[in-house]
Amino acid sequence: MGFLSIRPIARRWRPLLASFGLVATGMGYSLLWGPVIRHHSYWIMPGDIWGTFRSAQFITWGDIGGIYTAGTSLVTFPGILVALAPPALVAHLFHLVESYPYPLSRPSAWIVVGPYEMLLSCLPLFPLDAMAERFRIPPFRRSLLALAELIVLWQVSVVWGHPEDALACGFALYALLMVKDGRPVAAGWLMGVALCIQPLVILVLPVVAFRVPWRSWPGLVLRCLLPSALLLAGPLFSSFHASLHALVDQPNYPTVDHPTPLVHLAPKVGHSVAVAAGPFRVAMVLLATIVGFATRRYKSLEAILFLAGVCFFLRCLLEPVMDPYYIWPVLAVGLLLAAKSGWTPFLLAAAASFAATGFSQHHFSDWTWWSVVNGLLFVVTVAGLLGILRGRSSLQGRLLRHEGTHAPPESAPANSTELVGGEL
């Protein structure tokens, strides 16, 4: 019985080791880079995490209604605040100091908040490894895939302090696994949790919905909406206009982040330099719905995952203002599918992913930044597409070899690419 309980953990030793590596290297960089390399007595921390952490403190103080009026620039749903409530409680109990509202060089709360938010960001490594196992990626390449996923994930939490993006994508990836396995109820709840953490994972909701029988849609919609509705009821009731502004306008700042060519079409938010990303995100959802409709024709997990990656890619193409960590979901999906294709596509996708991650940290003109980053994302996506095409040609070859000489070959296993009656 003890062996049976350890076996599932042993099968996931790669993401476990990668999670440990991300936290260890992330905290090592944060605590040691300033004193040892720069010879200054400060810690390097992602500034964005402290506003989110302060909002999480409002949750622990019982004031969920004030999270959008606290001046923390929160524009996401409150699920991530619930996830960050434990370190907020620990910091309160031990009288630890956070770097908010005034920046501090060595806030004592970072010793708790840092490892915790980095660990939250590691969740997607586990469904990615589960999919790699289903794809029967060779062990050594699968280990290198875990390392590559760690490298591109590093910037999300260590550099920028946005665990909500990685955490929500992790739940969404698990939802894709559930819908592939014919478990729409579990898929609905997982998508509901993902949406209440980072609502932009709604881009992959059409991929999930169109793989579920239409009779199950009411239940799926209910499960997707219920967690967010419960968490948003308090803020909307207490401060309706402020909450609506944060959630609908979705203000972003082109003077701080990376403006794209679409910034010239984005409406201004009041008299500030911020622009509203909300209208463009509505367009992303509409286009993602069209992409999701295509999943009705496909049965393989590879195809479903590829279309989900395309939906994530839409965000990078259509955002008026980008942050570098927005590109991570496209890289994560592309690397996995490229690793299934073979060594050449995987190495190409890894090189393009590392280049995109590094290039996106620097400021250039809007056209230069947008063109180079999306060009590299396109390379990663095409490398991932080879995984589907290779599986399809391999199965067609099997059919041709057996045609006219033997009985039809056994059907492809559920975790490989399927081509039945013209469906991939």
- The DSSP code sequence of 142-179 is HHHHHHHHHHHHHIIIIIS--HHHHHHHHHHHHHHHHH
Rounded Cα distance between 151 and 153, Å, is: 5
Task: Report the candidate in 277, 306, 256, 301 with the shortest Cα–Cα distance to residue 413.
Answer: 301
The pLDDT-based confidence of 5 (bands split at 50, 70, 90) is: low
Q: What is the pLDDT of residue 393?
A: 54
Q: What is the pLDDT of residue 6?
A: 62
Rounded Cα distance between 424 and 422, Å, is: 7
Using the predicted structure, report yes or no on whether residue 346 has a pLDDT greater than 70. Answer: yes
Residue recorded with tokens 């975790």: 415
Cis peptide before 101 (omega within 30 of 0): yes
Q: What is the pLDDT of residue 403?
A: 52
In the 8-state DSSP scheme, what is residue 33? I
**Taking CA 105 as the corner, what is the angle to CA 104 and CA 106, rounded to the nearest 5 degrees?**
95
The pLDDT-based confidence of 278 (bands split at 50, 70, 90) is: confident
Name the pTM for this structure.
0.89
**Taking CA 237 as the corner, what is the angle to CA 233 and CA 243, rounded to the nearest 5 degrees?**
85
Rounded Cα distance between 194 and 312, Å, is: 14
The string of pLDDT tens digits covering residues 202-222 is 999 999 999 998 899 999 999
Between the CA of residue 248 and those of 253, 275, 279, 282, what are the distances in Å? 15, 12, 8, 10
